[in-house]
Amino acid sequence: MSHEVNDGTRDRLLAEAVGLRERGEREEARSRLLALAARHPEDPEVAYQTAWAHDVLGLEAEAVPFYERALDDTAAARLGEEDRRGALLGLGSTYRVLGRYEQAVVTLRRATGEFPDDAALRTFLAMALFNTGQHEESTRLLLGVVAATSDDPYVRRYRPAIEYYAANLDETV
């Protein structure tokens, strides 16, 4: 094709592919997103959606370059906030699944720095910290998430104590 697909066509094709993924037609979504990514290699939203399509199929290693493309310095500013949040979580989680624990920690620390109120990001960071042997920080993060987000009436009752001990794990009477 000698000319770039116009934005309206790109938007329609992207929406169709995302719809396929959401309806469980994952292989077809992946195929369409790969074609769209080939046409729009610098488009961070297309890269993010292509990464996601690989992730849901268990193709984590193939997802990584698309996540990285979506988050590179030139593309990241063009990625919407929710997509950026999702791409950071996806990349960090994918690094972790692949055993690239240090990269997972770096990515998820960056993500929690940008989105400090996101409990999912803190939870995935805690898992990666556990994998790197940073058990104390991992436990602190998880206790903080539990205390802040649990609807369990007993957790809510003891929330101040859980928050206190999250910050003071080694303290005894």
Tell me the average pLDDT of the chain.
91
| 3-class DSSP string for 26-90 | HHHHHHHHHHHHHHCCCCHHHHHHHHHHHHHCCCHHHHHHHHHHHHCHHHHCCCCHHHHHHHHHH
Half-sphere exposure of 131 (CA within 13 A, CB side): 20
CATH numbers and ranges of domains, the chain: 1-79 (1.25.40.10), 80-173 (1.25.40.10)
Cα dihedral 151→97→52→126 (10° resolution): 30
Query: Is the pLDDT assigned to residue 124 strictly greater than 70?
Result: yes
Two tokens, residue 20: 């396929």
Residue 5 has pLDDT above 50, yes or no: no
**What's the pLDDT tens digit per position in 47-87?**
999 999 999 999 999 999 999 999 987 765 688 899 999 99
Q: Residue 171 — pLDDT band, cuts 50, 70, 90? A: confident
Quote the tokens at residue 65: 């370059």
How many angstroms separate the CA atoms of 4 and 8, rounded? 11
Read off the pTM. 0.87
DSSP state of 72: S
